[in-house]
Structure 1
Amino acid sequence: MKRDGAKVTDGDSAKKAKSDEISATLGEILEINDMPTMSQGKWKNKTRCLIFGSRGLDYRTRHFMQDLRNIMPHTKADVKLEKKNDRAIIKEIAEMKNCSKVLYFEGRKKKDLYITMADIDEGPTIRFNVEGLNTMGELKFSGNCLKGSRPLLVFDEHFDEEPHYALIKEMFTQIFGTPRYHPKSQPFVDHVLNFSILDDRIWIRNYQIILEGTNKVKDEKFEPETVEIGPRLVLNLQRIQEGPFSGPAIYLNPDYVSPNERRRAQGYGQNGKSYMNKIIEREAKEEHKNNLPEVPKHVTDEIFVNN
């Protein structure tokens, strides 16, 4: 027990300084833990998208579906659907998976691919013919993005010129846009999904956002650049239905030509070309025959004329 007025030793001073240092460190840790983070927001938009396909899809389509699931954290998968089943069953499958949106891939004749996207609650249903498809593995671009990051959706100005394109734009926004504060999403944006219209086709591209500058966070004069990541997709609109996989058609593309009709026209063109070649060969043969020199008749040619 220390007497009043006793001097404090050096050991007591060291213990007090160490205690103050620990208290300051704990205070800094508590202050850091109390800082607000992006993950503490409330997840309000419960939109989920079901991505699956029918039987008979090739490996490129299956890899493309997996690429979409990698860049869309709010998606779910399901087993392949039999082609003989009614499409109305797709709505029941989506409801069982708690999904409000559907991307359904359907293969025909092992060469044609169709994508149907629909809103399960009230519709509509939009059907596309896929005219171009490339996976990330095929392209091998240098761009890259973090899995689960939210995309920045960029639309061409032509989407606002026609009513059916405006409807497609809204569907793309709800399907490809990752909901804010989604548990599987990252709290930042590092890639861009570009939707453009050219030659009455919808072209979809995925780009990485690269920030150039000394200070990528505080520098206000940085110039962002984009590097393509993949995958790629080219869609040709076929029709739009009012309800989810049912209902009357509210829009039919007047310029749409089915793959069967294109192949048939190409076959007719080849047949017509071969027919014209035969006519040209026949005319050339007759012309060659007419241009042959006349051979004088032999005496024996008239022996059996009267008989």
Structure 2
Amino acid sequence: MGKKRKHSETQTAEPKKKDEAAPERPKRSLFGWKDKEEVQQQTESNTDPPQVFRNKEKVMVTCSRRINYRYRHLMLNMVSLLPHCKKDNKVESRSSKGATLNELIELRGCSSALFFECRKHQDLYLWMARCPNGPSVKFLVNAVHTMEELKLTGNHLKGSRPLLTFSSNFEKDAHWKLLKEMIIQFSDTFFSIIFFQIFGTPKEHRKSKPYHDHVFVFSIADDHIWFRNYQISVPHNESDKMVRGGLDKMTLVEVGPRFCLNPIKIFAGSFGGPTLYENPFYVSPNQIRALEKRQKAGKYAKKVKAKTRRKMHELSNPLEPDEFADMWRE
């Protein structure tokens, strides 16, 4: 038998690598050849860090049990207008609703809440609260008109970010300033660090559109906050293209809903706590209905008094006997 060859002899020698590498071929674009330095500079400029959505503010919208159908439709209209909100099941309207709502808000990962509370199937109260530390505001909602009732011609895109406009009266008193900051984003009027975002949709939210095509208008009249929603209508014809900054051709068309908020109290906590502000001009609906009943009861009392006065007048002033009363009797 022949001898086996050594393992080292079977391995072939690898070719030595050349020190000088071949020059890289420049990349070609639609406009010609590019140098390596230009390509590197472009790649460095294009490698920006991706934009990350950091504003995680969410609003939970819910209502109480036995709510009226009209107020429920108003709540659903607000849900459609706020893309950063979450809708939850109905909550029992009791004294312990604050703890229940705070727990639900924490489970849903929200930071603020809009709670529509209906009493006696006819009175609607709106709680606007920052959870779980507060503050919170309680409103009485009047003059409610839903989108279905109004049948207006405005129609904006669902999920677009609204522009928030406020009348100059919001800078008049401290409590109006606080309410304005609760509606927008940030406030340090009464508290050190408080972040509110209820009606203002966060920028770059995954459910919102990156442009504005409607306006939320908050105006103060007779110590009430009036809410309106308008669509920004811009002409789209080629002959009527609007120049940037030309607001003369831009019009506002009301979409709805519309309602009026009467502030009752501002609390330091969430759905309760120390009272920061109390409206001295607030009259509860129960007192208004009681006054109306008294006025109706007063009408009947006036009729009874008029009858007694007539009888007393007849007794005090008797009529003279008529000489022709027995003329036809035989």
With structure 1 as the length reference, what TM-score do the two structures score?
0.79
- 2:209 matched residue in structure 1: 186
Among 191, 197, 200, the residue aligned to 1:177 = 200
Once the two structures are TM-superposed, the CA of residue 290 in structure 1 deviates from its matched residue by 5.0
Which residue of structure 2 aligns with residue 111 of structure 1? Answer: 122
The alignment of Structure 1 onto Structure 2 pairs a total of residues equal to 262
Code of the aligned partner of 2:310: A
- How many Å separate the matches in 1 of 2:175 and 2:306? 49
Whether the 8 Å CA contact 1:123–1:243 is kept in 2: the answer is: yes
3-state SS of 2:79 partner = helix
Hey, what's the Cα distance between the residues in 2 that align with 1:211 and 1:285? 74
Q: 1:141 aligns with which of 144, 147, 152?
A: 152
* Structure number, greater radius of gyration: 2
Q: What is the match of residue 20 of structure 2?
A: none
Decide whether the 8 Å contact of 1:211 with 1:225 is kept in 2.
yes
Q: What is the aligned-residue RMSD (CA, Å)? A: 2.3
Cα distance in 1 between the residues matched to 2:201 and 2:322: 92
Q: Which residue of 2 aligns with 1:221?
A: 246
Deviates more, 1:267-276 or 1:154-163: 267-276
Using a 3 Å threshold, how does the CA distance of structure 1 residues 219 and 251 change in structure 2: closer, same or farther?
closer
Deviation at 1:86, TM superposition (A): 3.5
Corresponding letter in the other structure for 1:232: R
Change (3 A) 1:49 1:216: farther
Residues 88 and 246, structure 1, Cα contact 8 Å, conserved in 2: no
Structure 2 vs 1, CA of residues 58 and 296 (structure 1 numbering), >3 Å: closer, same or farther?
closer
Deviations 1:20-59 (A, max 9, x none): xxx86xxxxxxxxxxx9xxx74322211000001101011
The separation in 1 between residues aligned to 2:77 and 2:198, in whole angstroms, is 15
Match of 1:264 among 277, 282, 290: 290
Runs of 5+ unmatched residues, structure 1: 1-22, 25-35, 298-307
Do the aligned residues in 1 keep the contact of 2:59 with 2:198 (CA within 8 Å)?
Answer: yes
| CA separation of 1:80 and 1:217: change in aligned 2, threshold 3 A | same
8 Å contact from structure 2 (residues 235, 242) kept in 1: no
Distance 1:192 1:218 in 2: 20
**Residue 286 of structure 1 aligns to which amino acid in structure 2?**
M
Q: How big is each residue's C-alpha offset from its partner over 1:239-272, in whole Å with a ceiling of 9 and x where there is no partner?
A: 0110112321111111111111111111122222
- 1:155 matched residue in structure 2: 166
Alignment identity in percent?
42
**Could you tell me how far 1:88 is from its partner in structure 2?**
1.4
Q: Judge conservation of contact 1:216–1:222 (CA < 8 Å) in 2.
A: no
Q: Which has the higher helix share?
A: 1
Q: Judge conservation of contact 2:216–2:227 (CA < 8 Å) in 1.
A: yes
Q: Output the CA distance in 2 between the equivalents of 1:50 and 1:67.
A: 14
1:101 aligns with 2:93: no
The match for 1:60 is 70
Within 1, Cα distance between the matches of 2:244 and 2:97? Answer: 56
**Where do 5+ consecutive residues of structure 2 fail to align?**
1-28, 31-45, 185-196, 324-330
- 2:80 corresponds, among 70, 74, 95, to 70
1:71 Cα deviation after fit: 1.1
Secondary structure of the 1:175 match is coil
Q: Distance in 2 between matches of 1:64 and 1:147?
A: 16
Which SS does the other structure have where 1:240 is aligned? strand
* Aligned residue among 272, 276, 296 for 2:302: 276
Name the SS of the counterpart of 1:237 in structure 2. strand
Instruction: Find the residue that maps to 2:170 and give its secondary structure.
Output: helix
2:91 touches 2:97 (CA, 8 Å); kept in 1? no
Determine the C-alpha separation between the residues in 2 that align with 1:269 and 1:287. 27
User: Alignment partner of 1:87: what SS?
Assistant: helix
Report if aligned partners of 1:193, 1:204 keep a CA contact under 8 Å in 2.
yes
Do structure 1's residue 196 and structure 2's residue 239 form an aligned pair?
Answer: no
Q: 1:216 to 1:42 in 2, by over 3 A?
A: farther
The 2-side partners of 1:216 and 1:222 are apart by 12
Return the alpha-carbon distance in structure 1 between the equivalents of residues 230 and 66 of structure 2: 30
Corresponding residue to 1:50 among 48, 60, 75:
60
* Secondary structure, aligned partner of 1:158: helix
The answer to whether the Cα contact below 8 Å between 1:238 and 1:252 also exists between their aligned partners in 2 is: yes
Q: Is the 8 A contact 1:212 1:222 kept in 2?
A: no
